[in-house]
């Protein structure tokens, strides 16, 4: 019986009080017997938590009293056991490391495409103005090996800090196409889309909510395999159930 609610959510927003937040959030999570990881940085928050539905909902009810987090919309899935071993809250330089300090999503997001629109474009093979559509996997190679969109561009990167150099090497190939950048939950493809725009690629979109939101809203259409996740479930199928 699936009694454990798993959530993932992130937001790019200035958090100059990240260290104070660390102590507060760690204490709240311990009180509610939650496990998982929360990453905090000056650029925002990224979290993966699991626990009873009551505890998860209670945590977010408290968190959303802070106006900075009032609009958080976690992606949810269920499991029959706790997929995390401990509760960690860390303060980092970036909530997703790219080593490209000019990329500041809190100052303005790249254009996003919903799961439904992405599916429709992939169904028809082009966007709404007839431009060819390609999907670009921004994840690490070992994650891609668990599953990805059919025909997705995969540069075989080993860590996200390699992504800027990969864009430079392949920029000409993407120039006349509409690019949908995607990742597990949206955080990497958000930075990736901004970077590609800054490098002069004009028709770039991020997949809103990443693969997990796509699964939630439209299922597994145009996707092959499973989606790797960073917990003991290892990977999720298009129905958001664990698939080891």
Is 241 part of any domain?
no
What is the three-class DSSP state of 43? coil
Q: Assess whether 115 and 228 both reside in one domain.
A: yes
Q: Is the pLDDT of residue 244 over 70?
A: no
* Average confidence (pLDDT) over 70-79: 94
The runs of H, that is alpha helices, within 102-227 are: 115-124, 141-144, 163-174, 187-198, 210-218
77 & 184 share domain: no
CB atoms inside a 10 Å sphere around CB 236: 24
Pair (47, 133) in one structural domain? no
Residues 117 and 229 in one domain: yes
Mean pLDDT of 83-107: 93
Residues 163-192 have pLDDT tens digits of 999 999 999 999 999 999 999 999 999 999
Residues 112 and 206 in one domain: yes
Q: What's the pLDDT tens digit per position in 9-24?
A: 999 999 999 999 999 9
CATH for 31: 3.30.70.100
Pick the more confident residue, 109 or 239: 239
Residue % of the chain over a pLDDT of 90: 93
Q: Average pLDDT of the chain?
A: 96
Query: Same domain, yes or no, for 23 and 78?
Result: yes
**Tokens standing for residue 143:** 């994650």
16 and 71 in a single domain? The answer is: yes
Task: Please report the pLDDT score of residue 16 as a whole number.
Answer: 96
66, 120: one domain = no
Contact 97, 193 (CB under 8 A): no
Kindly name the residue from 29, 183, 189, 227 that is annotated as catalytic: 183
Give the per-residue pLDDT at 109.
Answer: 87
Query: Which of these three, 91, 122, 142, is where a domain ends?
Result: 91
Is residue 106 scored above 90 in pLDDT?
Answer: no
Strand (E) or helix (H) holding 53: helix 53-63
As for how many domains the chain has, the answer is: 2
Pair of tokens at residue 201: 């690629």
Of the residues 58, 91, 124, the one at which a domain ends = 91
Residue 160 is assigned to a structural domain of this protein: yes
44 in the same domain as 145: no
| Type and span of the H or E element at 207 | strand 204-207
pLDDT in tens, 111-142: 999 999 999 999 999 999 999 999 999 999 99
Question: Which of 198, 193, 60 is CA-nearest to residue 138?
Answer: 193
Dihedral, CA of residue 135, residue 122, residue 234 and residue 109, to nearest 10:
50
Strands 35-41 and 112-113, sheet pairing: unpaired
* Catalytic residue check, 183: yes
Which of 65, 91, 117 is the last residue in one of the domains? 91
Reported pTM: 0.92
Same domain, 27 and 58: yes
| Structural domain includes residue 47 | yes
For residue 165 the two structure tokens come to: 């150099």
CATH of the domain at 132: 3.40.250.10
| Separation of alpha carbons 52 and 56, rounded Å | 6
**Which of 167, 147, 52, 156 is closest to 103 using CA atoms?**
167
Domain assignment present for residue 244? The answer is: no
Domain containing residue 195: 105-236
Instruction: Using the predicted structure, report yes or no on whether residue 43 has a pLDDT greater than 70.
Output: yes
Say whether both 64 and 137 belong to one domain: no
Q: Which pLDDT does position 102 carry in this prediction? A: 87
Confirm whether 100 is domain-assigned: no
């Amino acid at each position: 019986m699936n009694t454990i609610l798993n959530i993932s959510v992130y937001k790019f927003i200035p958090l100059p009080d990240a260290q104070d937040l660390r102590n507060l959030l760690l204490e709240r999570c311990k009180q509610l017997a939650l496990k998982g990881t929360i990453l905090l940085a000056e650029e925002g928050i990224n979290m993966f938590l699991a626990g009873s539905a009551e505890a998860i909902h209670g945590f977010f009810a408290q968190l959303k009293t802070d106006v900075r987090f009032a609009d958080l919309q976690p992606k949810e899935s269920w499991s029959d056991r706790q997929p995390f071993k401990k509760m960690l809250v860390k303060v980092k330089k970036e909530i997703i490391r790219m080593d490209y300090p000019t990329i500041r999503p809190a100052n303005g997001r790249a254009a996003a495409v919903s799961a439904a629109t992405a599916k429709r474009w992939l169904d028809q093979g082009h966007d709404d103005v007839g431009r060819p559509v390609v999907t670009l996997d921004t994840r690490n190679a070992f994650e891609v090996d668990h599953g990805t969109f059919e025909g997705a561009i995969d540069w075989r990167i080993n860590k996200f800090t390699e992504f800027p150099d990969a864009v430079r090497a392949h920029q000409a190939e993407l120039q006349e196409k509409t690019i949908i950048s995607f990742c597990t939950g949206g955080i990497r493809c958000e930075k990736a889309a901004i970077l590609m725009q800054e490098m002069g690629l004009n028709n770039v979109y991020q997949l809103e909510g990443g693969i997990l939101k796509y699964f939630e809203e439209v299922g597994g259409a145009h996707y092959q395999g499973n989606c790797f996740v960073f917990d003991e479930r290892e990977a999720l199928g298009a129905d958001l159930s664990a698939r080891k």
